[in-house]
Amino acid sequence: MNQNGLFDLTGKTAAVIGGGSGIGEAVAIGAAKQGAGVVILDANGEAAQVVAARIPGAGAAVLDIRDGGAVNAVFDVIVRDRGRLDIVVCTPSINVRKPILQYTSEEFDRVVEVNLKGSFNVLQAAGRLMTAQGSGSIVIFSSIRSQVVEPGQSVYAMTKSGILQLVRGGATEFGPFGVRVNAIGPGVVDTPLTAPIRANAEWYNAYANKSVLGRWARADEMVGPTLFLVSDAASYVTGTILFVDGGWTAADGRFTPPGM
């Protein structure tokens, strides 16, 4: 392996799902800077086009990951037009913050359909193509909620734990074909989706202080860890989760005993 080009993605084709905003947008731009040919996929087609216009040679398409047929079709078009699919990064998820006793069946189905079914559709479609070509790397976004939870987060946390097990299963099945599957576990990240929390000072500060770094993450701070996992620098890394949480899951409390 060329140690000088561990993170070089030149010649690789990367599909970034959720690339129209937030973390996905940052990852797409970062992958392009490392030389990848990028395709922006997002449920918001206009947002995907706006991001793609900022990246030379990038493509864009509408994609709802809840539709398995649509995921397969989009990936097939990428392979037809670009010759191969080397990298898939899947960032989308939704959350309905409610106590278990107040959750409706419709809300449960909505969260599970996007977070779990959608992630499965992506993994299955990417795995079909990558195992056939004998190489590839898939990264699906999980969360610190795969490990720890708070009131109102039960269903979301369930799906994020499920994503981690899905990633592990994919790694075991696709590994013999040269395909790696991993997860990213962000902590709290400053994106448009977390704007309601940011608007509440008490809530915002509570989350900031839970991190041992004392602050939220920026979306661009997810780029390096993600590109590590899809690059040759992580050629022997598969079936795992990389937490990018500012130490959130490392500390079980922030009280410093007297005399310390």
Please list the active-site residues: 156
H/E run at residue 47: helix 45-53
Pairing of strands 59-62, 87-90: unpaired
Give the CA angle between residues 199, 98, 188 to the nearest 5°.
45
Helix-strand-coil split of the chain, %, nearest 5: 50, 15, 35
Say if CB 43 and CB 122 are below 8 A apart: no
Q: Which residues contact 170 (CB under 8 A, 6 or more apart)?
A: 123, 127, 138, 181
Burial 237-255, CB ≥16 within 10 A → b, else e: ebbbbbbbbbebeeeeeee
Burial (CB count <10 Å: 0-12, 13-18, 19+), residue 30: buried
Give the CA angle between residues 97, 100, 103 to the nearest 5°.
70
Neighbours of 50 (CB within 10 A): 16
Side chain identity, residue 250: A
